[in-house]
Amino acid sequence: MINSDKTNLILKYTLKNALDYNGKANFQSVLGRILSEKPELKQNIKDLAKEINETIKKVNSMKLEQIKKEISKYDFEEKKHEERDFKKLENVSGKVITRIAPEPSKYLHIGHALVFIINSGYAYKYKGRCILRLEDTNPEKSEKEYVNSILEDLKWLKIKYDKKIICSKRMKIYYDYAEKLINMGKAYVCFCSRDKIKKLRHEKTRCECYNKSVKENLSEWKRMLSKKYSPGKANLRLLGDMESNNGTLRDPIIFRISNAKHYLLGNKHIVWPLYDFENSIEDSILGITHVVRSKEFELRAELQDLIKDYLNLKKQEVIEIGRFNILGAVTQGREIRELIEKRKVSGWDDPRLVTIKSLRRRGFIPESFHELAKGAGLSKSETNIDIRILASINRKLIDDRTKRYSVIFTPKKIKIENAPELKVKAPLHPDHNYGFRNFTTKKEYYIQDNLEKNQNYRFMHLFNFRDNKFISRELDKNLDARLIHWLPVSKDLVNVEVMMDDGKIIKGFGESNLKKVKVNEIVQFERNFFAKLDKKEKNKLIFWFTHK
Ligand SMILES: [Zn+2]
């Protein structure tokens, strides 16, 4: 057997795909097979794609005989599926307790899903516990709608947790710790404007507000809590290190005033903790032992450690992983909100977004996210998630259970002279016995491709033709016919619309058997792509594009 280095692997699967499809290999199919065998190759997907394309060009120009000869050199014994798992955790003593801590100010996207899967996964791998903590202490941004969507997404993603904590219900805890800090002389009430604070922090200078006694600070803090100040007029700041090169340490604001109505508490409170403060307190008092988080939090870690040091709170083992960059997609909640407001996207489940809501609607399944998370592991380098990698995992997982149907997009009607009138059946799946689809054909067909002169074609499962004239029925390798798909012109065809991942809708005709497909079922449109049935309307079926 030839060794399985990259070039050979590409050639092997290109040849195989070409042989299965009458000499014409398909890029997505080859890529999918290669990534499922060697997932590490996705690190350099650009080069891989280039090499696959070159190989396909070479193989597709070969005669079938030559493809057969070449392929005999390879071994196609099924490789045993390797169970992927998370890497080992360091410093485990006692029960592992992890947390997932979303802020209910947006819908979850694929990056959140991966971090949450990893955190929850570790807890159960080590027979520990995982806590869900809804960090809803930003009254301007937190919404019930987001809380609900997060809970729904976690459930759909099969991310387990034992307990749910809602931070806004624990304000007294944060206030008590704030008072403790003030009593220790480690926090002070500042009356400077946001602009002045920003300017002085930039200049590494402390403002005069610091020069108050503990007693004065305590009484000002009480005045803040009893709503004597309006937003922006007073902030509680932590005594940090004004000289530090890490800007987050320069006396950061830890509590601010906001009049915004909180989705849960209304106007009960106006003094709200900022992220780092709330996070430090909660991680410690909940007994969290390990936190897996992305590298973008690195600078905040020093600040959080300082808060824990002051208050003598227990620190966590922090495991940093690369930041998940989702190539070519907007993931920032703020940016998405803006796109929605400007009506540039239709909503949080717009097919151009990589929110869980959108990917679920398109036909991605939860298991694909878990597979991807295990693969992403604890790599510290930036992890670029090309959506194609998730697609290749998803394809591998759904392929076996997905029925095949024919749909012709932007159909062109052609007539084949001398075509026999046939009753044919085609399998619902090439490898599994899911039954058959029946077609009755006459002389007229719909096709999607542009036909070339003097070129032999084969209608899949049907017959060979050239220049709109019938040649023969049986598969004939000597014809070197290009395989295309078709539908018989008939009044039984169904109108199909597909919402694509660029937000555009494409239209076509589908075989009548599609009427049996149920809403939310994922199917494959042969030689086109996978799609999920979104809606059945009176005269048409509306699908969402899953992936190639
Ligand atoms: Zn000040």
Query: Helix or strand or coil: residue 87?
Result: coil
CA-wise closest residue to 147 among 262, 275, 259 = 262
> Can you give the residue ranges of every domain in the chain?
6-82, 172-277, 403-547
Element of type H or E holding 446: strand 444-447
What is the token pair recorded at 120? Answer: 């929850």
Cite the beta strand spans of 240-345 per DSSP E: 253-257, 271-273, 290-294, 317-321, 324-326
pLDDT of the residue at 83: 58
- Cα–Cα distance, 548 to 532 (Å, whole number): 12
The CA–CA distances, whole Å, from 20 to 49, 65, 276 equal: 21, 13, 57
Query: Helix or strand or coil: residue 503?
Result: coil
pLDDT of the residue at 204: 97
Under the banding of pLDDT at 50, 70 and 90, the label for residue 420 is very high
pLDDT of the residue at 34: 84
Mean local confidence (pLDDT), 114-123:
95
Mean local confidence (pLDDT), 234-249:
97
Q: What is the dihedral of CA 294, 300, 303, 304, to 10 degrees?
A: -40
Say which residues have a Cβ less than 8 Å from residue 73's Cβ, sequence separation at least 6.
2
Gap from CA of 290 to ligand 1 centroid (Å): 36
pLDDT of the residue at 65: 84
Gap from CA of 299 to ligand 1 centroid (Å): 23
Looking at the domain that runs over 403-547, which CATH code has it been given? 2.40.240.10
Gap from CA of 192 to ligand 1 centroid (Å): 4
- Cα–Cα distance, 486 to 363 (Å, whole number): 25
pLDDT above 80: residue 325: no
Please tell me if the domain spanning 172-277 has the same topology as the one spanning 403-547.
no
- Cα–Cα distance, 285 to 363 (Å, whole number): 40
pLDDT of the residue at 80: 46
N- to C-terminal Cα separation, the chain = 31
Under the banding of pLDDT at 50, 70 and 90, the label for residue 37 is confident
Gap from CA of 248 to ligand 1 centroid (Å): 16
Considering the segment(s) 172-277 as one domain, its CATH architecture is Alpha-Beta Complex (3.90)
What is the token pair recorded at 69? Answer: 């000869």
Gap from CA of 200 to ligand 1 centroid (Å): 9
Gap from CA of 224 to ligand 1 centroid (Å): 15
Structural contact between residues 323 and 296, judged by C-beta atoms closer than 8 angstroms:
yes
pLDDT of the residue at 284: 98
User: What mean pLDDT, rounded, does the chain reach?
Assistant: 91
What is the token pair recorded at 317? Answer: 């083992």
Gap from CA of 223 to ligand 1 centroid (Å): 16
- Cα–Cα distance, 161 to 173 (Å, whole number): 23
The CA–CA distances, whole Å, from 84 to 89, 282, 323 equal: 15, 32, 21
Mean pLDDT lowest among 90-99, 271-280, 494-503, 505-514? 90-99
Gap from CA of 252 to ligand 1 centroid (Å): 11
pLDDT above 80: residue 383: no
Mean pLDDT lowest among 32-46, 91-105, 147-161? 32-46
Mean pLDDT lowest among 151-160, 309-318, 427-436? 427-436
High-pLDDT (> 90) share of the chain, % = 71
Query: Helix or strand or coil: residue 496?
Result: strand
Gap from CA of 259 to ligand 1 centroid (Å): 21
Gap from CA of 209 to ligand 1 centroid (Å): 4
Under the banding of pLDDT at 50, 70 and 90, the label for residue 3 is very low
Gap from CA of 208 to ligand 1 centroid (Å): 6
CA-wise closest residue to 86 among 109, 42, 110, 117 = 117
